[in-house]
Structure 1
C-alpha cells in the first residue's frame, strides 16, 4: 500500500487538525470523546461500522461527516477507510472510549503549527484507566497523530500504523477508558479478539518475525482479559519458549515478560519470574517494570537487602521515565503498582532499621491512589510491628501506626489489629488515637492503653455473670475479698460504704453477709467512726462466727489505741486466703485461659498481674 491519498481528496490549507474515528455501538462513550475534541479539531470524521444503538445520531450532533461502512472483521481495513476523508494537514486517531486531556487541548494547535515540514508522525502518551474510580492506570506512548496521507494500517486486530518519519513526541496525553469493562463487554471483547488474533497468527508465515511474537503476546493479553487461568498460562509458556527460541525480545515482549513474570510470582515460581525480569532488563535497561518485578521476587523470598536495592533502582528508572513519558513506545504497567512498591519499601526500611525512610514511603503510598490489592503487604508491616519492633521503635512509630491504620481503613482492608493493640500495651506505649479491634478484650486493652488510669479488673472478672450480686453469690467470700481489694483502691469511703451495703442487702449467703458487715466495719474504721466500726464488727461475728478470730485482734487493738490507722479485717482475710491457696479464687471458672494470660494488660491490680504470670 502506498502513502498517497486515495479518492482525490484535496487538503485544505486552512485546516490544521482532523479527528478520525471508527465506532460501533458506543452510545455510552462517544459523547465524551466528541466533547473533548470539538473545540480543537477543524473537522471530525466518524465511520460507523454497524451500530444498533444511538451512536450515529449522537455523532451527527457534532459533525456532518458521519460515514457508514460494513464491518469486515478487520480493524485495519476500517481504519484505512476512515483515513480517506480527512482534509486537514494533520489527522488524530481517536477511539470512542477515549478523550483528549485538558492539557492536550490547550497545547496541540500551537504545537502542530510550529512543527517543521519534515515531521510526519507524532507520538502521544495514552493513559489507560483500569478501574471505575480511575485510580489504577497504565501509560504507553503510541503514534496517533500523522501528517495527512503519510500513514496506513495493517493487521486485522491490534492494528499497527505504518508511518513515515520524522517522528516527534507530544507530551500531553489521551485518556483511555476502554479497559474498564462490564462482565458482558469483557466477554464480548475476549471472544472477538481471541478469534481475530488466532486467525491472524495462522496466516503469519515467518515464525521468527517480530510480528509473530507481537500477536502471540496480544493473544496472551487477551487471555488475561477474559480467559481461563490454565489457558492464559499455556499461552504464556508458548510465548516464553518462542522468545527463547528466536533469541531476542521485541519491544512488545517486554510487556509480556513483566505480565507473565508477575503471574508466576502469584503462584510462587519466584526463580522463573526472576529469569523473566532479568531478560527484560537485559533488553531495555530503561524499562522500569522488571525492576519492580525483582523487588517483589526478593521481597517474597525475604531477601530484604537485595529487595531494597531493586526497589531503589525501580524508583530511579520509573522517575526517569515519568520525566520523558512521551518517548516510551511501550506500556509502562508498573504505574498501577506504585502504591504497592512504596508499601514494600516502607516495610523493608522498617525491617532494616531505617525508620525515617519507612515513614517517607508510607506517606508516598498514601499519596499514590491505586486499586491494586495491597492487603498482604500491610499485614506484613503489621506483623513486623507485632513480632519484631521493640518499645523504642514503637514509640518512634506511633504516628506511622496511626497513618497505617487510617490507610487500611480507607482502602477497606480486612486486617485485625487486636494483636498490635496487645503489643503496644505490653510495651507500655501510650497512644491517643483509636484502633479498630474485634474482641471485647482488645477493646478493654485499647481503652486502658489510651487512658492508663482506667482499670478493667472487675469487668473481666464478672464477664460471665449477669450482675455483681450473681458473681458474689457464686464466688462467695473469696469473691468479696477480690471485689473489695479493687473497689477500696479506687472509691471514696462513702461510695464504698454504699456499695457494700447494697451488696449486703441483696445477697442471701449468711457467710458473705457476715464478711460484708466486717468490711463495712473497716470503712467506718477508716472514717474514724469507731462506735459504728465496733457495732458492725460485732454484727459480722453474729452472722458468721468463724470470722471472729480475724476480728478479735482488731478489737484488742482498739482497746489500747483508738486510731483510724488501726489495720482492719481485710488485710487479715486477704493474708489468710493467699497463705492457704495458690489463688484466692479459682478464676478459671470466670475467665478464659487466653484472657487470663492478658489480664495484666487491662488491670494494674496485683492479683491480675499474678494470675497472668502463672497462667
Structure 2
C-alpha cells in the first residue's frame, strides 16, 4: 500500500542534530503513516549510521554545490501521496496535529501546505523569530525546487496554511560560533558566485545581507541590503509588493546600526505596500523613540502591540509573509517594547499619551513574564495615582514575587513627593503582613510597640538596603538596635553600621552603645559588639591616620573588641583542636582572634618569644588594625612583667 506521506531529507555531517529530528518524526513513522527518505551528500561522521536506525531508505549522492539539485534527488525517491520536506537541524513539535490533518478530508482540496517555523536565534536571550513556509506538497510529479543556495519550492495552488503545525529550527543559534562561521562561509560564497552572474538579483542580494548580519558584520549587511533595495526600485514596480521582505531586513539592519532616520523612511515606504507588516511598526516605533519623538514612537508601537495581540488570537493572518522571518512576534520583542514604552510614559511628564491603554494591553496579554507585568502595572498605577489598584496588585501577586515587588516599588517611591509617599504608605498600612506593619511604623509617631512586634515576628533583611537602614534608624530612637542585631548575622550588622556611619552620621550613637549596652559577657552580645566595633575601629583608624596620637577611647574599644573576640572564638570553636585548625579558617577576623588567644596562652606560660611570634602572625593576618596592636601588645607585656 502506498504510504500517504513521504518525508524527504538531505543530510551531511549532522550527527549532532539528526537523532533529535528523527525522534520527533516517530509518531508518523511508527503509525505506518509515512516513509522516511534520507539522501546523504558525503557525511564523514555518524550521520549515516544514525539514519539507518530509523529507515532503510538511505541513499548516497555526492554534493554538487546546488541545494535544489539535492532536494530534487530526495523527492525522486518519494512514493507517498504527499511530500514533507524537513532538515536535520529542525524538529517537528506538533506531530499529532500533522496526523490529524492527514486523517481529515480538508487536505484533499489543496496542493500545498504551509506550516509555521520557529527559529531559535539565541539560547541565552531566549530569542526566536517566526515565519511560515511551504513544506508539504502533493506528489503529482511536477513539484520541484529551484535556486542554488536558498532553494525555493515551485509549488501549485491552492495553499492551505496550517497554523497549528510547527517546526523548531536550531540552525542559527548565535552562541554556536563554529556553526555560524561554517554556514556563513558556505552560504556567502555561493551567493557571491550567483551575484557575479546576476548582480541585480534582489533575492540573492537580500540573502547575502542576511548572511553578513548573522555573521556580525552589520555595516556590510547594511550596504548589501541597500543594494538589494536599489535593485528592487530599478526593476518592475509591480514586483515591490512581493519583495516586501527587503523593507523588513533593511529596517532591521538600519536600526541595528543606529540609522534611525533611515529606519523611519524605509518603514513608512514599506507600510505603504503592506499595512499589516508587523515588524515595520516595531522598527519604526523604536526608531522614533530613539530620536525622542515619543508621541510618534508610542503610536507606532501601540499599533505593533495591537497587531501582535491579534496574531496570537489567530485574528491576523501573516502566513503570506513566507520569504522572511518575523522578528517581532516573539515574547522577547513584545516584552522589550512594553517595558520601554511604559517606562517612557512613566518618566516623561510632557507626553499626553494615555498610559492606561497599556494596562489594558498587559491584562490582555497572557504570555509575558509575570514579574515584568507586575513591574509595569506598578508604574502605571503610580502614574495614574491609583493607590487602590496598586494595593490590589500587591495583595494578588504570588508570594515569591512579593518581596521583589516591594523592593522595586520602594525604589520607584524615592522619586515621589512627600504627599504621594504618605498616601501610599497609609494605603498599604492596612495589610496584615510585614510590609503592612512597616508602613504602620512609618505613619505612626509612637512606634515602640510596633517595633517590638516587628523584631519578634518578621525579618527586615528580606527588604531593600534602604528599608533596612530606615528600620534601624527607627530602632535607634528607642535603643532597640542591639536587640535586633542579635537576630541577624555579623556581616549584615557590619553593612548596616557602615552605611549608618558613612551616610547618616550615626558614629556617636554606636560609640555610646558600645560603652553602655555590652556589660554582660554573653555570646550573642559579644558577637554584636565585635561587628559594631570592627566597623567603628576601621572607620576611625582611617580618620586618625595622619594624627600622631591615637584616641584613648579608640584604644579602650579595641581592647574590649579583642577581649570579646577571644571569648567569642573560645565559645564558637573547638578550643582543644584550634591550634591545628585555625589555618583552615576562611574568616580572617576569627583567625586574628584565635591567634591572639593562642598568644595569651604563651604569655601565661611566660613564653615571650612564641607570644611575639603569634602576635606578629595575627597582625599580618589582619593588618588593618596594626596601629592599635602596638599599643595593645606593649600594655600586655608591661602588665606581665609587673
TM-score, with structure 1 as normaliser: 0.61
Residue 367 (structure 1) aligns with: 367
Residue 282 (structure 1) aligns with: 272
Q: CA deviation at 1:451?
A: 9.1
Which of 244, 261, 265 aligns to 2:255? It is 265
Q: How far apart are the structure 2 equivalents of 1:378 and 1:260?
A: 35
Residue 608 (structure 2) aligns with: none
Asked if 1 retains the 8 angstrom alpha-carbon contact of 2:225 and 2:249, the reply is: no
In structure 2, the CA distance between the partners of 1:409 and 1:462, relative to structure 1 (3 Å rule), is closer
In structure 2, the CA distance between the partners of 1:444 and 1:167, relative to structure 1 (3 Å rule), is closer
Which of 184, 197, 214 aligns to 1:225? It is 214
Asked if 2 retains the 8 angstrom alpha-carbon contact of 1:366 and 1:407, the reply is: no
Q: How far apart are the structure 2 equivalents of 1:419 and 1:398?
A: 16
Note if 1:128 corresponds to 2:119. Answer: yes
Note if 1:24 corresponds to 2:12. Answer: yes
After superposition, where does 1:55-204 map in structure 2 within 5 Å? Answer: 55-102=47-94, 103-111=96-104, 113-116=105-108, 119-132=110-123, 135-148=126-139, 149-171=141-163, 172-181=165-174, 182-204=176-198
Residues 519-575 of structure 1: CA deviation (Å, up to 9, x unaligned): xxxxxxxxxxxxxxxxxxxxxxxxxxxxxxxxxxxxxxxxxxxxxxxxxxxxxxxxx
Asked if 2 retains the 8 angstrom alpha-carbon contact of 1:18 and 1:87, the reply is: yes
Q: How far apart are the structure 2 equivalents of 1:53 and 1:132?
A: 26
Q: How far apart are the structure 1 equivalents of 2:413 and 2:17?
A: 49
Q: How far apart are the structure 1 equivalents of 2:190 and 2:226?
A: 21
Q: How far apart are the structure 1 equivalents of 2:394 and 2:289?
A: 21
Q: How far apart are the structure 2 equivalents of 1:409 and 1:53?
A: 52
Which structure is higher in RCO with an 8 Å CA cutoff and minimum separation 6? 1
Q: How far apart are the structure 2 equivalents of 1:49 and 1:152?
A: 18
Note if 1:340 corresponds to 2:336. Answer: yes
Residue 528 (structure 1) aligns with: none
Asked if 2 retains the 8 angstrom alpha-carbon contact of 1:135 and 1:369, the reply is: no
Q: How far apart are the structure 2 equivalents of 1:122 and 1:176?
A: 18
Q: CA deviation at 1:134?
A: 8.8
Asked if 2 retains the 8 angstrom alpha-carbon contact of 1:346 and 1:357, the reply is: no
Q: CA deviation at 1:278?
A: 1.1
Residue 215 (structure 1) aligns with: 204
Residue 244 (structure 1) aligns with: 233
Asked if 2 retains the 8 angstrom alpha-carbon contact of 1:129 and 1:179, the reply is: yes
Residue 564 (structure 1) aligns with: none
Q: CA deviation at 1:289?
A: 1.2
Q: CA deviation at 1:114?
A: 4.1
Residues 272-315 of structure 1: CA deviation (Å, up to 9, x unaligned): 11111112111211221111222212322333333332223223
Q: How far apart are the structure 2 equivalents of 1:232 and 1:378?
A: 38
Q: CA deviation at 1:143?
A: 1.3
Q: CA deviation at 1:382?
A: 12
In structure 2, the CA distance between the partners of 1:52 and 1:383, relative to structure 1 (3 Å rule), is same
Name the SS of the counterpart of 1:115 in structure 2. helix
After superposition, where does 1:505-520 map in structure 2 within 5 Å? Answer: none
Note if 1:39 corresponds to 2:30. Answer: no
Aligned residues: 444
Question: Which runs of 5 or more residues in structure 2 are unaligned?
Answer: 429-433, 437-460, 480-496, 518-550, 554-642
Asked if 2 retains the 8 angstrom alpha-carbon contact of 1:71 and 1:78, the reply is: yes
In structure 2, the CA distance between the partners of 1:452 and 1:259, relative to structure 1 (3 Å rule), is farther
Asked if 2 retains the 8 angstrom alpha-carbon contact of 1:151 and 1:162, the reply is: yes
Q: How far apart are the structure 2 equivalents of 1:167 and 1:469?
A: 79
In structure 2, the CA distance between the partners of 1:308 and 1:65, relative to structure 1 (3 Å rule), is same
Report the structure number with the largest CA radius of gyration.
1
Name the SS of the counterpart of 2:27 in structure 1. coil
Q: How far apart are the structure 2 equivalents of 1:140 and 1:28?
A: 24
Q: CA deviation at 1:94?
A: 0.6
Q: How far apart are the structure 2 equivalents of 1:189 and 1:203?
A: 22
Q: How far apart are the structure 1 equivalents of 2:107 and 2:513?
A: 92
Q: How far apart are the structure 1 equivalents of 2:114 and 2:353?
A: 44
Asked if 1 retains the 8 angstrom alpha-carbon contact of 2:120 and 2:128, the reply is: yes
Q: How far apart are the structure 2 equivalents of 1:469 and 1:396?
A: 42
Residue 445 (structure 1) aligns with: 466
